[in-house]
Amino acid sequence: MTTQTCLLRGALTVVASAAFVLAWSSGFIAAKVATTDASLWTVLLWRYLPLAVVLVAVCLATGALRGLRAADLRRQAMVGVFSQLGYVVFVYASVAAGISTGTTALIDAVQPLVVATLVGPILGLRVRGASWVGLSLGIVGVALVVGSQLGGSGAEPAAYLFPALAMLCLIAATFVDRRRPNDLPILTTLAIHVVVVAVALTVIALATGNAVPPATPGFWLATAFTALVPSLLAYGLYWWLIRRIGVTSLNALLFAVAPTTAVAGALVFGEDFSALTVLGFVVSGVAVAIVLVAESGASRRPAATRPVAADAMQAG
């Protein structure tokens, strides 16, 4: 691989990582905006149902579903239930319960430490010393920002289980996907996830009487945005980056999602934002840098010196 190719590849990864952070962060803000005029079930139904139709049509037109194995379909259906249904429902429930968008994202940002703890025994990957330093520092940054925002929340203490459950859903989805090599195109993967979620939400919305959408333009603008950015762009980048930079590096980016969401929540909704929040932002940024540098350096080592499971995962 030439130097120019390496530079282009690195630049593409940086741009994709930045886009992922912004797109993923936008989902928390959109959740609060979208549920202003309708229940979370109505919003989520119309976020996913039209998108499912479009993705299936594109897959049929491009032949992206050709050769799809039943085993892959079952596994990705399960991944979709965890990653988009479970995760998104609990995020929306958290925001609806009165937890600030920033705090919801920040609790989710504990995910990298949980992932790092489970990576070894489940996927056979070794988390390096420098990565542990970065991950631990990221927890400190998250704790600083959470501490700066808890005082302004009127949510019941039990409601804080919602973002924690969202985090666990995304972890489960990541592990189910990564335990076997996934060579499906990203488009196919997303189509399976979105269709499964759309079917489940249709049943839930009809059963609860929340299928009819409001006629307000704001509702449709919000649902269109959540379909295109958090559902399509953010999740597409999530699965693309996980193949390119690995689980540990990708999840370290969630440390950047958390303070980014806190800033956006302060600007858009007037949520608490103080000097302590800024300090947490800086600490989290340093944590991301440490993990990404450590994992990037490890990926440049000769293949013979890296664990076999790590190579298989990166290629998956």
**What's the angle, vertex CA 262, arms to CA 261 and CA 263, rounded to 5?**
90
CA distance 34 to 20: 21
Closest-CA residue to 251 (of 7, 21, 13): 21
pLDDT score recorded for residue 122: 64
pLDDT in tens, 160-203: 889 889 989 988 888 888 777 778 899 999 999 999 999 999 99
Tokens standing for residue 288 = 């991301």
pLDDT in tens, 8-20: 877 898 899 999 9
- Four-residue CA torsion sign, 149, 153, 157, 162: negative
pLDDT in tens, 86-140: 999 999 999 888 888 877 887 777 776 666 666 555 666 666 677 778 778 878 8
Closest-CA residue to 312 (of 59, 123, 161): 123
Average pLDDT score over the chain: 82
Q: Token match 């603008």: residue?
A: 221
Report the pLDDT averaged over residues 17-44: 90
pTM: 0.81
Q: Report how far apart, in Å, the C-alpha atoms of 128 and of each of 169, 171, 292, 293 are.
A: 25, 20, 11, 11
Report the pLDDT averaged over residues 230-244: 92
Tokens standing for residue 63 = 């032949």
